[in-house]
Amino acid sequence: MPQRFDGFFVSNEFPTFDVDETLVDAPFLAAYFRSREVWDELARLSHGLGSRRQRVHPEEVLALEILLPPRDVQRAVVEQVERLGEARRLHVRVLDLVTALESAVVNRGS
């Protein structure tokens, strides 16, 4: 944990992990854990009654096997994920503009 967080309180509801950056880039790991497939796997491992009380235990997260490409490939993957995210944001913006344009055309015609 970074020194700037020393002395902060944490809860077992929100465990934290240190990343061994000699093995994996933190942004690559973050992108990995944002993927739908990983969320589905973790949901399958979760325990508890009802969706509000379901928990994934840290041991289950630590038991996941992650195939790690070399660090330069990890960085390239993160760059591509970021580009894809930007493309998705632009796509949504274009759709919003098209909707606004359609609305303006329809309103002008009536």
Read off the pLDDT of residues 41-80 as tens digits, 9 standing for 90 and up.
888 877 766 666 677 788 888 888 888 999 999 999 999 9
- Tell me if 4 is assigned to some domain: no
- Tell me if 16 is assigned to some domain: no
Answer whether 45's CB lies under 8 Å from 60's CB. yes
Report residue 96's pLDDT band, with 50, 70 and 90 as the boundaries.
Answer: very high
- Tell me if 13 is assigned to some domain: no
- Tell me if 1 is assigned to some domain: no
- Tell me if 93 is assigned to some domain: yes
- Tell me if 61 is assigned to some domain: yes
- Tell me if 3 is assigned to some domain: no
12 alpha carbon, distance to own chain's centre: 21
- Tell me if 49 is assigned to some domain: yes
Mean pLDDT of 4-9: 76
Answer whether 33's CB lies under 8 Å from 61's CB. no
For the chain, what is the domain count?
1
Higher pLDDT, 88 or 58: 88
Other CB atoms closer than 10 Å to residue 74's CB: what's the count?
A: 20
Domain range for 76: 23-109
Read off the amino acid at residue 8.
F
Most confident of 62-66, 88-92, 99-103: 88-92
